Chain A
Amino acid sequence: MIIAFLTPAMLCYLIVFLYPSIRTFIMSFFKIVSVTDPIKASNFIGFGNYHKLFHTQLFLQSMSNIGKIWFFGGVGVMLIALLFAVALTSGMKHVKFFRSVIYLPNVVSAVAMGTMWINYVYNSDYGLLHNFFKTLHMTKASQFLYTGQDHLFWSMLVAYCFGMVGYHMLIFMSSIEQIPKDYHEAALLEGANAWQRFFHVTLPYLRGCIRTNLVMWTVFTVGFFVWGQLFSPVNLSNATVAPMNYMYEMVFGASSSANTVRDSGAGAAIGVCMMVIVLIVFALTNLITKNDDTQM
């Protein structure tokens, strides 16, 4: 009976998740052109794909890009999300409204968001920031080229992080709301101010939550793809390339008819690298927040 209930889910898991993962892992050690090609023993090249990748400038640039996204974006998003979460759980009015507004960008399609940022916010002729600075008579600032190659990465990062804050805020909020009110009351009675209550009551309780947010942020960063495509729609740019964008071109070919090279083995190797990154971060966060005696 139990088996009958489990079978559909098991089949889905095996076919849709486990089999492709294992096959990708194996593919990364072979020279394969198309993702549907059979894996021939004669094409075994061991760590050849990995060696080639780590000596390819564009791939290294993409790793550097997601490194910056993970660190700078992560710090920014977590701080702002935490700030919003603490504000919204401090007993203010209209919490539901603010919560929905802050979470709204997560619901809107990334393509729609990206289009809005590129064509409206960052536009140097009639965009939001242009008009804003023009009204303040800051001419030089109003003519700033947000999507120029010098600033493209940071413009993309800001646009991306704007949409990510809501998700992490909700995770923080759900954890903060579970802190027993007694602790805060006890702290208040002892004469603790808001800062002290935050550092000594709220934050320790959030250890497990911070770990969750960190792992989720790493997973999102490693899968960074759509925003890189939006900010460099036709072909790759140093400022916006992420490993997934590079993998997409490797596996499915570039959109330019001039470049017909495909290398699914290298693409699979990139996928394996991304998995390893997430596993490392997960293991590290587990080690750091080992003594988790408070319950989530």
Chain B
Amino acid sequence: MKTVALPDVAEVVGDPPQERPWLDAGHVRERAGNHLLTVPTKELWKYTPIKPFLDELARLSAGSPAALDGIDQPGVRAVPLDTLDGDDAMRVRRAVSERLDGARHVLADLALLRAGGGWFVQVSATAGPPLEIRIPQGGVAPLFLVLEPGAELTLVERMDAEGFLAQVALVELGPGARLHHYRAALARDVGHYSLLQVHLAQDARYRLNQNCVAGNRRRAEVHVLMDGPGADADLAGAYLVEPGQHLDQQFVVEHRAGHTTSRQKFHGIGAGKGRSVFNGRIHIHPDSPASDAQLSNRNLALHPDVEMDTKPELEIYTDDVRCAHGATVGQLALESLFYLTSRGVPEPAARRLLSHGFVRECMAGPLAEASAVRFMEAL
């Protein structure tokens, strides 16, 4: 196997790293450095080279590219990370140091070390209008979002930036909190890395709808941790691979408490000679009885030269659980095609309609229409 020399951590993030109240830079830098050394041996980066991401990170100029709408409302407090101090800063510092899995998300550590801005958002009630995030310019966009017990929020995130974008979002849902999260990355020919890590306390509920178009290189890592009993997560979305594009999605759902439920449903379409990597991992920890987890990943390979890799993984350490996973790569169902053509819909139009329906099944919320239109353009 050809080995590509990776840059040293100092080449990516500078030396010495910049200390900030919200980031234990020394610790994070050391962690990133250690894990970067092991990347070439890891399955995690087997299908997507990490080096171009490191090169992009090294070239980034610091600055916060994210704009937030909907923060001026009761129950929502948004503070730029630059000005964060006291307990808030400690909270973020601890989250990064203690909760972020540096081995799995090494790029997130490196991105945080390169961050020059970003936001801390605390929601303490049921928010009215959605919180909307736009990221017009490339850069590093960290977000630390805390929903206090019983709080509820709709978060709408457009992840299309001019230039390379690295996003790190750490989300904490307190007991009974509810987050409805809609994300879309619809630009092609872009470089993009994102980590979204969500912790759910007891009876918290998380809904994610994430629609992605493959980019020059796009890597989307989603890590959901069910920390409290009764937590419930539902992740869904669609993706599209166009010619010459690459998309790598890594989903991890950890059940770390009993009576927790997770659902994952993702549909992808390969519409050109490109590559999609989908890794969906369900991890049921010991002492997590009555965990209930399902993962479904279906891929439509509409182009003969598209490569669509899918790998569901189950790791179970508790007996009393319900788990199901399934992954397929295939073609349009001939029976469905016949049904439509028998009603007078010409075959090319029937294929488009079915492909559209296939992804539309996994799209929901305020970005669904824009996502569907974007996907249809490619089909």
Question: Is B a genuine binding partner of A?
Answer: no
Interface residues, chain A, with chain B CB atoms under 8 Å away: none
Interface residues, chain B, with chain A CB atoms under 8 Å away: none
